[in-house]
Amino acid sequence: MSYLLRKDYVQYECTCGSCMSIAELYFCRHCLELRCGYCVCHEVDSHYCSNCMEHLPSAEARLKKNRCSTCFDCPNCFHPLSVRATMRSAEEGSTKSTPTKRYYLSCFFCRWTTRDVNIQDQTVAAGNWPVKENPYANLLTSYLEYYKMIAMTERSQKEKKSYGSLRKGYTSLTDKYGLTAMIARKRAGLPSLQLGGKDFNQTSLPNIAPCTAEEDIEPLPDSFFTQVPDLTKVTTLEQRHANPMLQTEVTSMLHPQHRHFYIKRSLRCRKCEHNVSKPEYNPGSIKFKIQLAAYYHMPEVKIMTFEPLICGKHSEIILKVTNPTQHLTSLQFGDLVDKDEEEKRKAAFTEDQTDEKKVKKFDTLSVVQPFLVPKLKRAITTNTKVVLPTCSVILPPRDDAAEYDDTGDTHNFQDDPKIVVWRKGNKAAIKFMVIPNASLANGDKVIFGFSLEYGYVNTMPTLEQRQPQRTEMQVNVYITPGTVSTGCED
């Protein structure tokens, strides 16, 4: 039944309105809300090379143009290149008679080597492998210097216009007219800056020649029309775009490039700005300092079995619900809840339970949050009625040893056998009845949803509450068990 665990079958509705599987959601323990990939800020923690596992800070990686200085990629298939050694006999006229070792780069996947493009072998394994330089490097450098000077001019003009009101004091005058920066540049021996921008280092600006269109174009060689092209010797678009500064047309001119750095990123909640995911700095470690994934903090719903789905008829479906937390929780099932109404209810509850200072803070967040996390309309539309259980279901805390205990369930819960059909440890199988709409045709997907209410114990200490607090949470769950059977008539 592993195919039933795909994200298409069980989806949870995020705070922003998007629906995803529980494996793609995060749970912020500070603001007690679900967060998806669109509701979090992505931050780069460290850069590392996936081949040699060298990790660098962001500033140093930026200086190296986000490329590893020791590892190379194959220009043909983009796999990492490995160093191979070979024995070479002594050259004629040399005083040494013993053979010496020479090293070259080789790809274990496509068998491409540096000898294919006439790159000389190196005498050491970690040698300074030659890299073909950009023929337009000087031109690009002059362009960068030119636009940096223009950016400084625009910045100085903007700072001058930003001072609309007069302020008293020597500090305000130095900030307004840039006296401190002018004195610093004078001591460093640099030319002075004029905030007006008219005579802003005109002598130091590089001489940029404007581009002109040419009418005379070199004609194609005659071999282009007479000879049959060999596609194995012509580079593909992927190979050309991998090295945009050269973009060679033939494979014999391909040169290895330094391997790109990978990144380790951390995720931060947009509302409370706390981390929901933060990995270890060492690239060889797969552990996380903070890993607030949703399947660690909220019940997980899976499909066990279901009867054939026929329009207008009752079909039985059994869902397995798992409690991943270390605390006892109770489950209740209800109709789908609109997010706007839920936010209004939370706002009214907060105004009644908090003082004036906290109300102002909540109002500020309620104004900023729609801008940072835009609310989406409900992406899934249900087409099936569902008969929900009327009683609550209690799930015990997670116990890893209970998975290997075959003596039976030690918890004595008074469950209704018509609702709870199976129970073991922190898991329970619950029976639902679904009725697909009569308007569905054969082969249409059956979609139904319900609101899952559960108790969550927040163990994060706050200034007001040091002890763990129990909170009632609510999330919309959408389930697509399958398609309509042949019992429906068009």
Q: Do residues 265 and 395 share a domain?
A: no
For residue 219, give the amino acid letter.
Answer: P
Higher pLDDT, 151 or 128: 151
Q: Do residues 51 and 16 share a domain?
A: no
In which domain, by residue range, is 478 found? 2-24+299-344+372-484
Residue pair 235/249 in contact by the 8 Å Cβ criterion: yes
Residue 196 has pLDDT above 50, yes or no: no
Read off the tokens for 226.
């007479």
pLDDT of residue 188: 57
- Gap between the Cα atoms of 464 and 472, Å rounded: 19
Q: Do residues 395 and 334 share a domain?
A: yes
- The string of pLDDT tens digits covering residues 74-130 is 999 999 999 999 887 766 555 666 778 889 999 999 999 999 888 888 888 887 788
Q: What is the mean pLDDT of the chain?
A: 79
Read off the tokens for 423.
């129970």
Local structure of 145: helix, strand or coil: helix
Q: Do residues 110 and 55 share a domain?
A: yes
Mean pLDDT of 416-424: 88
Q: Do residues 267 and 412 share a domain?
A: no
Is 469 contained in some domain? yes
pLDDT of residue 184: 57
Mean pLDDT of 257-263: 92
pLDDT of residue 31: 87
- Gap between the Cα atoms of 376 and 18, Å rounded: 7
Is 43 contained in some domain? yes
Is 387 contained in some domain? yes
Is 33 contained in some domain? yes
pLDDT of residue 94: 59
pLDDT of residue 462: 63
Residue 402 has pLDDT above 90, yes or no: no
Mean pLDDT of 289-302: 91
Is 42 contained in some domain? yes
Quick one: which of 70, 63, 68 has its CA closest to 260?
68
Is 206 contained in some domain? no
The torsion angles phi and psi of 185, rounded to 5 degrees, stand at: -70, -35
Is 473 contained in some domain? yes
pLDDT of residue 359: 40
Read off the tokens for 339.
């997010």
Q: Do residues 283 and 337 share a domain?
A: no
pLDDT of residue 146: 84
Other C-beta atoms closer than 10 Å to the C-beta of 21 total 17
Q: Do residues 379 and 303 share a domain?
A: yes
Q: Do residues 335 and 277 share a domain?
A: no
Q: Do residues 269 and 410 share a domain?
A: no
Q: How far is CA 130 from CA 72, 127, 133, 351, in A?
A: 11, 9, 9, 68
Largest Cα span, the chain: 96
Q: Do residues 10 and 73 share a domain?
A: no
pLDDT of residue 344: 59
**Least confident residue range of 8-17, 184-193, 206-215:** 184-193
Q: Do residues 328 and 417 share a domain?
A: yes
How many domains does the structure of the chain reveal?
A: 2
Q: Do residues 120 and 69 share a domain?
A: yes
Is 313 contained in some domain? yes
Radius of gyration of the chain (CA): 33
Mean pLDDT of 283-301: 90
